[in-house]
Amino acid sequence: MVQEYMTEYAEEKDLELILSYTRGGAIWYSKKALDVTDDVIAGINKKYGEKKSAEK
């Protein structure tokens, strides 16, 4: 319920990111374009794969 509202609010206000004011810094909302998880995983896998190949 809260997450749903935060998404609607962010879209109405054209916000890219909403941070929670809590210890630990939770993120309430972010545009998908700000999520770099897939790129980071691909980069780490590539680098690790190159390192493994060089060790053989």
Q: 1-56, pLDDT tens digit by residue? A: 888 999 999 999 999 999 988 777 788 899 988 999 999 999 999 998 877 777 76
| pLDDT score, position 54 | 76
| pLDDT score, position 5 | 94
**Residue 11 structural domain:** 2-55
| pLDDT score, position 25 | 73
Total domain count for the chain?
A: 1
| pLDDT score, position 45 | 93
pTM for the whole thing? 0.59
Pull the structure tokens for residue 1.
């319920």
Q: For the residues of the chain, what is the DSSP string, one character each?
A: -HHHHHHHHHHHTT-SEEE--STT--EEEE-GGG--HHHHHHHHHHHHHHHHHHH-
